[in-house]
Structures are given as C-alpha cells and as structure tokens.
Amino acid sequence: MHRTVTPLITVVLLLVALGMLVLMSASSERSSDASYFVERQLIWLGISVVAAVVTARLDYRLYERAVLPLALVSIGLLVLVRIPGIGKMVNGSWRWLQVGPMTIQPSEFAKPVFIIVMSWWLARSMRRLEEIRYGLVIPFLLLASFAVPILVEPDYGTTLLVAAVGLCLMMMAGTPMLPLMGVAGVGLLGVAMLIFQNPERMGRIMAFLDPQAHEQGKAWQLANSLRAFASGELFGVGFGNSFQKYHYLPEAHTDFIFPIIGEELGLIASLLVVVMYGVLFATGMQVARRAQDLFGRFLAHGIALMIALQALINFAVVTGSAPTKGLALPFISYGGSSILASSIMFGILLNIAVDGERGRLRKNKGLFKDRSRRAS
C-alpha cells in the first residue's frame, strides 16, 4: 500500500506546507493586516483537509451512481455566475458566487465533476467507442456542457485545461484519432476567433509575443516575474526577502506565487517544486494502472492530468512560455476554491490508490492459496 499512497500524501503535504510559508511572505505587503490572507487560507485549508479525508474514505464507485446530480449541480453553478445579482464580476470576468462571507469559484469545482462525468461515460461505452456517436459525439457534448459555460465567463485558461484533459481521456480510451483531432481543431479555431475579438485577450497575446514593447503595460507581470527568477539565482535571496512582492508583481500570492519561490528560495528549490509535481503525476498514473475497474482507471488518469497540466500551464505563464492566464498553482497558490477542489481530487485519487493496493493484495493471496493447494 505504501508504493502509491505514501508518495501521494508526502508530496501533497510538502506542496501545501511550502504554499503556506511562501504565502506568509508574498502576502505580507498585500493588506494592512499582514496575516489577512494567511488566516483566510488556513480556514480554507481546514475545510480542505476534512474534504480530503471524507473523499479518501468514500468509495469512488459511488460517484458513478451520482453522476447525473453532480453534473447538473456543477453546470447549474457555472450558469449562475453569469446572472447579475447572483454572480460576482472581478477584473472583467464572471467567475465567482458570493455565499455569505465566502466567495466561491464554481469552475474550480467543475474540474473534478467533469472528470467524473467523462470517466463514467468512457468506462460504460468502452466497447463502442469506435462508433462516432459513442466515441466522439456524446463525449464532445459532455465536454462542451462544461467548457462552454466556463468559456463565456470568460475563463480561457480553465476552458483549455478542461478541454485538454477531456481530449487526453478520449485518446486513452481509444477514440479514433483522426475525427478526434478534426473536431478538436474546429473547437480550437473557435476559441481563437473569440480571443481575436476580445481586446483584453489580444493585448495579452501581443504582450506575450513582444514583452519588451509592452513592459509598462500588459507585460508588466511577466517582466517582474522574470526579474524575480533572475534575482533569486541558485539559492535565492532568503525567505521573506523578496523585492518583487512590494507591489511590483501583481497577484504574487495567487497565480504568480511561483516567481516568489524562485526569488526567495532560488532555482534549485524551484526545480524541486517542478519535480514534486512530476512525482505526483507519475504516481497518479501508477494508481490508474492499478485501479480495479475502468471507471477508477479513467478517474485517476483524469485527476493526475488535471493537476499536472494546471501546474505546467502555470509554470509556462510565469516563465513567459505561454500568454498570461488566471490559473492557480495547485496546493500552493492562495485561493479557497482552488485548494478545496484540489483536495477533493487528491482524496478521490487516494481512495483509488488504496482500493487498488487492496485488490493487488487479495489477488496475491489468492494466487498463494492456489499454489499451496496444488503443492499439497
């Protein structure tokens, strides 16, 4: 049981601990109360721990039976954010719902639900996926039912992330590649057309292509992110000694927290963070291979892909390898919805891992008994 469970728990605990430490530094200049963001994150972290424990103990097969209500609630919340008076607009995007004193982001919780829905369909239709209806049309309709509401928020980063995970799951399941790539290309073209019609997003694209020309504008975040990495060198300037956090690097406690790690702890620590996400992904793939059924296999694949691809996109954005997108670094960035959704996915993955290891033990015991009987 230790082969997959222990690495999963160890890596996630390390990422969360690092996130809290760096948040203490990165948010120290973001509010008149230096502990404001840390206290709020600790509250969400406590809720997330409970959620992770519950989902880790809950048999993942129960999600198959609850797939319809889960999907309806999730899609309903995604639609609600666009309704004035219910949804909350921040920085030009309708991504949040105000629930009492808390603000939640439904697109974060749509990620695990989307994986559950896709895994359910692919598992139950495995023998018919070569048919266009079962392998292409219905999976794309399921993908679109989540991606389109997220797209109109607008949240292009999460839309592309959800679409990428969905396509990967379809390829793993055996959907014919040629029609899959054709439909995916049409969808990507549609997203590109929407981006071209949005001045804000086009500004980000131009800043990505020529950051020096837009350094005082759209490329301000990227320029200061790169300065943070450069000043950190190999071993960093020391914990709490970041210069960029003093209002030079916007969102230093959320989407751009990784450059603060690079500045304060250095290149070596930054690479270790990348390695930890790699270990988390590789272990998730191993959990998927040992899953006892197709649903568990697709579910584990989807969760590992979702977390790893989100981290990869975040790394690409803060290093100037991709246009700026609002995607948090899982388990590290500030944000209640982000850490809660990540913890739910982690708990589900942990449950699949434990179930898979128990299944292997039962199988090995059965083989041992058979051999003993034959020997006698």
* 216-255: pLDDT as tens digits: 667 677 888 888 899 999 999 998 888 877 767 777 788 8
In this predicted model, what pLDDT tens digit does every residue of 86-124 receive, in sequence order? 888 776 678 888 877 778 899 999 999 999 999 999 999
Question: Quick one: CA dihedral 162, 168, 172, 177, positive or negative?
Answer: positive
In this predicted model, what pLDDT tens digit does every residue of 194-224 receive, in sequence order? 777 777 667 777 777 777 666 666 767 788 8
pLDDT at residue number 187: 80
Average pLDDT, the chain: 87
> Rounded CA gap, 108 and 284, in Å?
20
In the beta sheet, which residues pair with residue 88? 96
Number of structural domains the chain divides into: 1
pLDDT band at 9 (very low <50, low <70, confident <90, very high): very high
Position 74, amino acid: S
DSSP-based three-state secondary structure for 105: coil
**Is-contact 113 341, C-beta < 8 A?**
no
Q: Over the range 146-164, which residues count as b (16 or more CB within 10 Å of their CB) and which as e?
A: bbebbbebbbbbbbbbbbb
Residue 220 structural domain: 5-375
pTM of the predicted structure, to 2 decimals: 0.91
C-alpha separations of 207 from 155, 202, 262 in Å: 18, 8, 22
Task: Lowest mean pLDDT of 48-52, 166-170, 198-202, 275-279, name the range.
Answer: 198-202
Residue 32 has pLDDT above 60, yes or no: no
**Is-contact 74 110, C-beta < 8 A?**
yes
Distance spanning both ends of the chain, measured CA to CA = 30
pLDDT at residue number 1: 53
> Rounded CA gap, 341 and 131, in Å?
34
pLDDT band at 368 (very low <50, low <70, confident <90, very high): very low
Task: Lowest mean pLDDT of 168-182, 286-300, 342-356, name the range.
Answer: 168-182
pLDDT at residue number 217: 65
